[in-house]
């Protein structure tokens, strides 16, 4: 997660499930560099968010040409960006870290769920087992292995990885500033409180963010997960996934 007065960014590195990535630096290195390149690329308000993302992807790839960037498991991440401009807010979403906008008319959610729609049989297989069992781990490994083959292809789903072309597949848009009251950018490990567990509405989640900030929302997620440690009520890939939230509010 990174932010400047005019920019908020949330990146969520994808799990490698212990499989080879072809990169000796690893996912945290990739995410850190993508974040700093993205902030630098988007400092120019005239540059579109997708052009800035494409630039950042190229720059990160250029930092490790010795790694096998064509490996299907090359480090990858979801991207959510919100940028304030004169009179409006631009947003960009690549994969399933949603941006939630609160306006006078209510909440709107911008997210790309293609990753959740592909490979339903393998996903059902993962959901069949309790988390932290050998069977769950093996089913997850098979799912990730299959996901990697469809990642950044026309029949699969798009994430930030080693090539700039994924930026063209991001969802982008703009909202008039006078309509917006607040916005949240969330990794799926935080959004799941609303989207998967149905333990809060977006209105309740924003109330929590206003009262206690991201920390309190993430605590609420962890509390729910602690009530279901083996993923029986809410089947999931990990007991608790990485959770990050950027909350932005205007007068
Ligand atoms: Zn590398």
Q: Say if CB 164 and CB 54 are below 8 A apart.
A: yes
Question: Torsion angle of alpha carbons 91, 94, 98, 102, nearest 10°?
Answer: 10
Note whether residue 248 is domain-resident.
no
User: Which CATH number belongs to the domain containing residue 56 in this structure?
Assistant: 3.60.40
Note whether residue 32 is domain-resident.
yes
CA–centroid distance, residue 70 to ligand 1 (Å)? 11
Could you tell me the sign of the dihedral formed by the alpha carbons of 73, 169, 52, 103, in that order?
negative
CA–centroid distance, residue 64 to ligand 1 (Å)? 5
Portion of the chain with pLDDT greater than 90, in percent = 86
* Residue 4 predicted with pLDDT over 90: no
**Tokens read off for 153:** 């292809």
* Residue 251 predicted with pLDDT over 70: no
CA–centroid distance, residue 164 to ligand 1 (Å)? 16
Note whether residue 120 is domain-resident.
yes
Residues with CB under 5 A from ligand 1 (ion): 23, 25, 64, 67
Supply the pLDDT for residue 241: 85
Number of domains forming the structure of the chain? 1
pLDDT-derived band at 237, boundaries 50, 70, 90:
confident
Note whether residue 148 is domain-resident.
yes
Supply the pLDDT for residue 225: 95
Q: Phi first, then psi: give them for residue 76, nearest 5 degrees.
A: -145, 165
Give the list of residues 6+ apart from residue 223 with CB closer than 8 angstroms, or none.
none
CA–centroid distance, residue 234 to ligand 1 (Å)? 34
CA–centroid distance, residue 251 to ligand 1 (Å)? 43
* Residue 3 predicted with pLDDT over 80: no
- Over the stretch 200-235, which tens digit does the pLDDT of each residue have? 999 999 999 999 999 999 999 999 999 999 999 998
Supply the pLDDT for residue 194: 98
CA–centroid distance, residue 205 to ligand 1 (Å)? 37
- Over the stretch 98-152, which tens digit does the pLDDT of each residue have? 999 999 999 999 999 998 899 999 999 999 999 989 999 999 999 999 999 999 9
CA–centroid distance, residue 160 to ligand 1 (Å)? 14
Instruction: Provide the CB-side half-sphere exposure for 182 (13 A, CA).
Output: 18
CA–centroid distance, residue 31 to ligand 1 (Å)? 11
CA–centroid distance, residue 47 to ligand 1 (Å)? 27
- Over the stretch 156-205, which tens digit does the pLDDT of each residue have? 999 999 999 999 999 999 999 998 999 999 999 999 999 999 999 999 99
Range of the domain at 20: 2-243
CA–centroid distance, residue 136 to ligand 1 (Å)? 29
Please list the residues that pair with 2 across neighbouring strands. 9
Note whether residue 249 is domain-resident.
no
């Amino acid at each position: 997660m990174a932010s400047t007065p005019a920019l908020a960014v949330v990146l969520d590195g994808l799990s490698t499930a212990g499989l080879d990535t072809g990169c000796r630096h690893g996912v945290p290195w990739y995410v850190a560099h993508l974040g700093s390149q993205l902030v630098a690329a988007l400092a120019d308000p005239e540059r579109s968010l997708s052009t800035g993302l494409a630039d950042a992807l190229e720059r990160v790839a250029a930092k490790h040409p010795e790694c096998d960037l064509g490996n299907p498991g090359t480090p990858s991440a979801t991207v959510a960006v919100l940028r304030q401009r004169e009179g409006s807010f631009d947003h960009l979403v690549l994969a399933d870290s949603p941006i939630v906008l609160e306006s006078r008319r209510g909440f709107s959610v911008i997210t790309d769920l293609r990753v959740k729609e592909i490979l339903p049989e393998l996903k059902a297989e993962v959901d069949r087992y309790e988390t932290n069992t050998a069977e769950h781990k093996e089913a997850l490994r098979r799912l990730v292995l299959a996901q990697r083959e469809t990642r950044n292809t026309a029949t699969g789903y798009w994430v930030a990885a080693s090539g700039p072309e994924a930026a063209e597949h991001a969802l982008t848009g703009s909202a008039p500033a006078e309509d917006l009251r607040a916005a949240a950018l969330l990794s799926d490990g935080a959004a799941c409180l609303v989207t998967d567990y149905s333990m809060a509405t977006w209105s309740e989640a924003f109330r929590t963010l206003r009262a206690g900030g991201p920390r309190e929302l993430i605590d609420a997620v962890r509390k729910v997960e602690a009530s279901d440690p083996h993923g029986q009520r809410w089947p999931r890939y990990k007991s608790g996934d990485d959770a990050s939230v950027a909350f932005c509010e205007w007068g």
